[in-house]
């Protein structure tokens, strides 16, 4: 009795498998009907509605076959049918993109993804079934489409980004980046796709989307490859620093910022200014000096490096030493207004310190007159620097008029002092 029951059970399973395979074959017949309707570009609205109805009917028919363990010989066939149906669905949407007509980007992306996934599953099924050579009618044809469809994913990412849908754009570009690893159907061609010269650029777009989507984990995943995009190196660097700063990773922001500057100081002055400003604002004088020294070591003629070194020394009240570096910055850029201004301030502060040292000392008039000569000399040396600032920024008297007024007061030029004071009224 047990043997009979066992035989009946086997017969039932076999019957179910046959039934599932029949469903797949029926679905292919229905797919062929859809294909004929798709090929008819002059179809009526009724025929188009009929086509869409049959397409959905076919897709619904296939779904149980993918998860049923009874689907045997026709599993690869089932996935291939699904792939063909989604190709039919996205083709008109893709035509809209090519013809620059409005299209449903979300639907286009969904159908492309599903077609690709179906072709990959079809390939896996052929491997499970041991289909090779003439017995595998799917892989070679589908593989061509898988290679070709990668560009469609990039189109979707671009359209999502233009629509401000950054999370969806990120998903699309991320799929493009992981393409060689995702689709095993590619075989040896995966290596060629992985080496695509577009990869660094797409990595940059991926990071851009991740930045706007506030997905810093994804950003960090793709930024190493994005930094190979040398055509837009400055933009990539700026994006990297912005993402680090907004993510609150100050340590890495400083590390990367310094690396970018030291790689090419003259091309990254803006970055250097931001890093230096951070050090000054946080009172990190030692770090600021170290950074300035590193810049000068990388490029002795760096305008910003010498200017930054001057600022560090100026903040440490080493005015005469600071002036040397401000002058070096001016040699590199004769119109560097801030360098002229700070050199003038250094000479003024140097004169002020000499004058303060005289305070409280008992001296005769003759002695005092002799003692203040270095004070006047220091302020006199400040004058040409402030005059240069006046020349470079004539419409900004509040920057230089007050300083010049003090200079003229100290050296005793009352007429010019009055002239400067009038500008400040």
Q: For a pLDDT cut of 70, what percent of the chain falls above it?
A: 93
Co-location of 305 and 259 in the same domain: yes
Residues 6+ apart with CB under 8 A from 253: 241, 244, 245
Co-location of 215 and 359 in the same domain: no
Domain assignment of residue 7, yes or no: no
Q: What is the mean pLDDT of residues 340-354?
A: 97
Burial class (CB in 10 A: 0-12, 13-18, 19+), 195: exposed
Q: Residue 289's domain is classified under what CATH number?
A: 1.25.40.10
> Would you state the structure tokens that stand for residue 356, as one six-digit string?
């303060």
Co-location of 325 and 380 in the same domain: no
6-15, 20-29, 237-246, 328-337: least confidently modelled range: 6-15
State which of 265, 299, 331 marks the end of a domain. 331
Co-location of 119 and 221 in the same domain: no
Domain assignment of residue 1, yes or no: no
pLDDT digits (tens, 9 = 90+) for 403-419: 999 999 999 999 999 99
State which of 292, 308, 331 marks the end of a domain. 331
Asked if pLDDT for residue 23 goes beyond 70, the answer is no
Domain assignment of residue 5, yes or no: no
> Which candidate, 369, 370, 327, places its Cα nearest to that of 347?
327
Residues 188 and 125: their CA atoms lie apart, in Å, by 19
Q: What is the mean pLDDT of residues 376-400?
A: 96
Residues 6+ apart with CB under 8 A from 378: 347, 348, 350, 351, 354
Co-location of 120 and 222 in the same domain: no
Domain assignment of residue 6, yes or no: no
State which of 316, 331, 346 marks the end of a domain. 331
Confidence at 21, pLDDT banded by 50, 70, 90 = low
4-13, 54-63, 329-338, 349-358: least confidently modelled range: 4-13
Domain assignment of residue 280, yes or no: yes
Residues 100 and 230: their CA atoms lie apart, in Å, by 30
pLDDT at 27: 65
Asked if pLDDT for residue 13 goes beyond 70, the answer is no
0.95 exceeded by pTM: no
Residues 139 and 130: their CA atoms lie apart, in Å, by 12
How does 302-336 read in b/e, with b if 16+ C-beta sit within 10 Å?
bbbbbbbbbbbbbeeeebeebbebbebbbebeeeb
If you search the block for the tokens 């002239």, which residue do you land on?
419
pLDDT at 275: 94
pLDDT at 167: 97
- Integer Rg of the chain from CA: 37
pLDDT digits (tens, 9 = 90+) for 102-143: 899 999 999 999 999 999 999 999 999 999 989 999 999 999
Mean pLDDT (the chain) is 89
Co-location of 190 and 61 in the same domain: yes
Residues 110 and 103: their CA atoms lie apart, in Å, by 13
pLDDT at 9: 36
pLDDT at 185: 97
pLDDT at 411: 95
Q: For a pLDDT cut of 90, what percent of the chain falls above it?
A: 71
pLDDT digits (tens, 9 = 90+) for 154-205: 999 999 999 999 999 999 999 999 999 999 999 999 999 999 999 999 999 9
Co-location of 42 and 128 in the same domain: yes
Co-location of 238 and 290 in the same domain: no
pLDDT at 48: 79
Co-location of 361 and 379 in the same domain: yes
Q: What is the mean pLDDT of residues 204-224?
A: 96
**Is 1 or 220 the better-scoring residue by pLDDT?**
220
Co-location of 412 and 297 in the same domain: no
Q: Give the range with max mean pLDDT: 15-19, 49-53, 56-60, 383-387.
A: 383-387
pLDDT at 37: 59
| H or E stretch covering 241 | helix 233-246
Domain assignment of residue 3, yes or no: no
Please, are residues 345 and 382 in contact by the beta-carbon 8 Å criterion? Answer: yes
pLDDT at 5: 39
Asked if pLDDT for residue 16 goes beyond 60, the answer is no
Q: Which domain holds residue 258?
A: 249-331
pLDDT digits (tens, 9 = 90+) for 61-92: 888 888 888 777 888 988 998 998 899 888 88
**Is 306 or 77 the better-scoring residue by pLDDT?**
306
Residues 6+ apart with CB under 8 A from 126: 76, 136, 138, 139
Q: Structurally, how many domains does the chain consist of?
A: 4
Tell me how many degrees the CA angle 202-149-106 measures, rounded to the nearest 5.
80
Q: For residue 279, how many other CB atoms are within 10 A of its CB?
A: 21
Co-location of 31 and 149 in the same domain: yes
pLDDT at 34: 63
Residues 45 and 37: their CA atoms lie apart, in Å, by 11
Domain assignment of residue 140, yes or no: yes
Co-location of 20 and 109 in the same domain: yes
| CA 201 to the chain's CA centroid | 10
Domain assignment of residue 2, yes or no: no
pLDDT at 374: 95
Please, are residues 371 and 362 in contact by the beta-carbon 8 Å criterion? Answer: no
């Amino acid at each position: 009795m047990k043997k009979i029951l066992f035989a009946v059970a086997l017969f039932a399973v076999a019957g179910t498998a046959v039934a599932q395979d029949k469903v797949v074959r029926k679905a292919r017949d229905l797919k062929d009907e859809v294909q004929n309707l798709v090929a008819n570009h002059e179809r009526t609205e009724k025929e188009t509605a009929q086509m869409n109805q049959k397409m959905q009917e076919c897709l619904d028919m296939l779904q149980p076959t993918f998860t049923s363990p009874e689907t045997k010989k026709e599993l690869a066939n089932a996935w291939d049918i699904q792939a063909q149906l989604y190709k039919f669905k996205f083709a008109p949407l893709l035509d809209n993109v090519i013809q620059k007509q409005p299209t449903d980007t979300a639907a286009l992306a969904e159908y492309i993804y599903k077609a690709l996934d179906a072709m990959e599953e079809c390939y896996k099924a052929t491997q499970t079934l041991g289909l090779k050579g003439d017995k595998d009618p799917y892989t070679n044809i589908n593989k061509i489409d898988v290679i070709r469809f990668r560009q469609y994913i990039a189109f979707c990412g671009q359209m999502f980004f233009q629509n401000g849908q950054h999370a969806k754009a990120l998903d699309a570009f991320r799929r493009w980046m992981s393409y060689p690893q995702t689709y095993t159907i590619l075989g040896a061609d995966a290596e060629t796709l992985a080496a695509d010269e577009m990869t660094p650029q797409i990595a940059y777009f991926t990071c851009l989307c991740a930045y706007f989507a506030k997905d810093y984990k994804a950003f960090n995943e793709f930024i190493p490859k994005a930094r190979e995009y040398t055509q837009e190196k400055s933009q990539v660097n700026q994006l990297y620093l912005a993402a680090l700063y907004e993510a609150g990773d100050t340590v890495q922001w400083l590390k990367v910022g310094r690396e970018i500057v030291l790689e090419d100081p003259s091309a990254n002055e803006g970055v250097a200014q931001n890093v230096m400003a951070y050090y000054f604002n946080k009172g990190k004088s030692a770090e600021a000096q170290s950074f300035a020294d590193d810049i000068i070591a990388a490029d002795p003629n760096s305008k910003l490096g010498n200017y930054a070194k001057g600022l560090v020394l100026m903040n440490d009240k080493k005015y005469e030493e600071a002036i040397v570096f401000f002058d070096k910055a001016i040699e590199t850029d004769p119109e560097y207004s801030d360098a002229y201004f700070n050199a003038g301030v250094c000479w003024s502060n140097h004169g002020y310190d000499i004058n303060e040292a005289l305070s409280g000392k008992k001296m005769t008039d003759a002695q005092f007159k002799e003692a203040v000569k270095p004070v006047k000399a220091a302020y006199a040396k400040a004058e040409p620097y402030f005059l240069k600032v006046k020349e470079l920024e004539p419409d900004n008297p509040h920057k230089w008029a007050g300083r010049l007024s003090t200079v003229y007061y100290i050296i005793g030029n009352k007429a010019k002092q009055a002239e400067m004071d009038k500008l400040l009224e």
